[in-house]
Structure 1
């Protein structure tokens, strides 16, 4: 009997590749008409490589994850930088010494910038909400200028209504490091994410069926199911729907314009209905006479992107988790199946652990013959 993998994003594709490499026959389903999940990229009608579902930047501190994916792609160096548009000017985000000096017309050293942040922060004890996190980190003025309204657009909620873990992911620096991430491995797949996924799924033991819904499949034909879709959907929303925040993407091509903005992404915390604009040529290094950008508009309805972190939603998820734990023939893996935000490398690492637990091999095994480079 074959193994069924539901979802052709990172979680499902890693498990499919590992299972195939271990000699299993694998069927991969995805209701979308393409592989690679939200990391899907493709040339737009003008020939610019774009990310359909917003920017995906690969970064990790896990060497085994980088080594594993390197079997299926070559890389190009890329360190993501983000600016925030505040009062008509662009400032580095995460907040650093340059941000503070430019915003307030100061010339602080690193030590003085650290002292300034100590002075303006508003310690909160206990830390319960994202507002507590931000105020205790950067104080009220920086909070209101860079975070409060961005959060309101992104989540449809105020910082004071959001769980602390949302803002806990945002660092603050007193030095001049303007990289958005500080991971030891920061690169982009040289030929794009979709090509990397194609290489991972290019195995005689793998059959991919796109535009296919899991509900339409006879599960009795499979010895095991790896499921990376929404956990509440698997159980027919028995306890009600788990809330997600969605996005609408407005793609635009600008002809005869080499560059639209100075960095890959510019955040708009206070102006406009969108939260950010990404220009893809920064990410890909592509040369083209024009450029392509995307604006992101958060919304309540649509494809599920971000689990809404609240105590009530976690309690609802735990009811579904109890059902999932009782399943013997299905393993739930990935963002949607676990109702939590995970970076791409975290999903890969998790899928590799799941594969090893199911006897599908270890990433310490030798590189498969004929793997892509």
Structure 2
């Protein structure tokens, strides 16, 4: 009998496993379908000895000191400020759009005040900003929307930006200075030994047992447990009984080249050309020295593991119905990007997991044994 079964060994599940094991001194069984811990943040050394991110680049950034303090128990950090270029009209330009982006694209010499006037002269008035397209055209105008955003968004999501929630592009700032950092958070660093090593240290506790390549649906009736934390897709937990929630997936093409460097920054976006959305070169992220270099090409798709909830009104409505079902299940906590149908950064998932643990501490007596029967109610 385990006190807790946790489904999913990504950030949400691993943080909660560590907190329950170390602070409540209760037993945890952590299961994951994949052959490794770390979820999408998993990294590993390839055949060339280069540390790569198997599921695309993960750059840690946050403004929360408490989240930094928590994770720092399990890793040291390497300072890294993420910079991204976009291949637009045959030129590599900084993204998010800043002063250098506009000056180089149009051959201008604007200052910050003049750039604000430039944007103001091109903005479209949108009375009710509802879609991803509305956000961009009302900020920088139609031409920059077409050059930088429309093609990338269509590739990423498989639909036009005017069919997507404004949240898709609201995350991307526009700057009138020369700050070319992709993020502006106060803390921007990478785990010095990689994400996987950080997860392994987090989960190195005698109260935690890990079962990989294990499907929750196959063991839920075979292994006794008292309480459940579920970080997988919420519609799958309920056997898709209300219909399937749409997710976008990614196909990754990993390549190693016999040259020291391929591109000037870690990530180059391709909003206008090519079938892939971006190319990542990992040595920029890790600071590794190697005569060869490793890249990942990303191809968005509807087929494969769920990565991104698709932000459309009808999908949010369906999720709310699943969320209501989840509220009827005693002793089950739904946590993380897939279980709450939200796009979260890594620090936000850690914060959500720590907040969930705080609620558990308030509501669940330690060493209580309520039995497992109620967990199956409402679930198929």
The alignment's TM-score, normalised by the length of structure 1, stands at 0.95
Alpha-carbon distance in 2 for matches of 1:56, 1:133: 25
User: What's the counterpart of residue 4 of structure 2?
Assistant: 3
> Partner of 1:350: helix, strand, or coil?
helix
Partner of residue 368, structure 2? none
Per-residue CA deviations over 1:135-164 (Å, capped at 9, x if unaligned) read 001101111000011111111111111111
2:168 to 154, 166, 169: 166
- Cα distance in structure 2, aligned partners of 1:96 and 1:208: 46
Distance 1:71 1:337 in 2: 26
Partner of 1:370: none
CA distance in 2 between counterparts of 1:236 and 1:113 reads 52
Name the structure 2 match of 1:316.
318
CA RMSD between the two structures: 1.1
Distance 2:140 2:69 in 1: 37
Match of 1:156 among 144, 155, 158: 158
Distance in 1 between residues matched to 2:201 and 2:125, nearest whole Å:
50
Superposed counterparts of 1:265-276, under 5 Å: 265-276=267-278
Match of 1:144? 146
CA distance in 2, matches of 1:92, 1:145: 13
> Who is 1:336 aligned against?
338
Q: In the alignment, is residue 62 of structure 1 matched against residue 64 of structure 2? A: yes
- Whole-angstrom CA distance in 2 between matches of 1:285 and 1:360: 43
The whole-number CA distance in structure 2 between the counterparts of 1:123 and 1:190 is: 46
| Partners of 2:116 and 2:220 in 1: CA distance | 60
8 A contact 1:19–1:360 mirrored in 2: no
- Number of residue pairs matched? 360
Unaligned runs of 5+ in 2: 364-380
2:250 is the counterpart of 1:247: yes
2:34 counterpart residue number: 32
The ranges of structure 1 where at least 4 consecutive aligned residues each deviate by more than 6 angstroms after the TM superposition are none
Q: Is this contact kept in 2: 1:18–1:360, CA < 8 A?
A: no
How far the C-alpha of 1:218 sits from its partner, in A, is 3.5
- The 5 Å alignment of 1:114-193 reads 114-193=116-195
SS at 1:336's partner residue? coil
Residue-by-residue CA offset, 1:279-325 (whole Å, 9 max, x unaligned): 00001111111000000000111110111111111111111000111
Give the corresponding residue for 1:236. 239
Deviates more, 1:83-92 or 1:112-121: 112-121
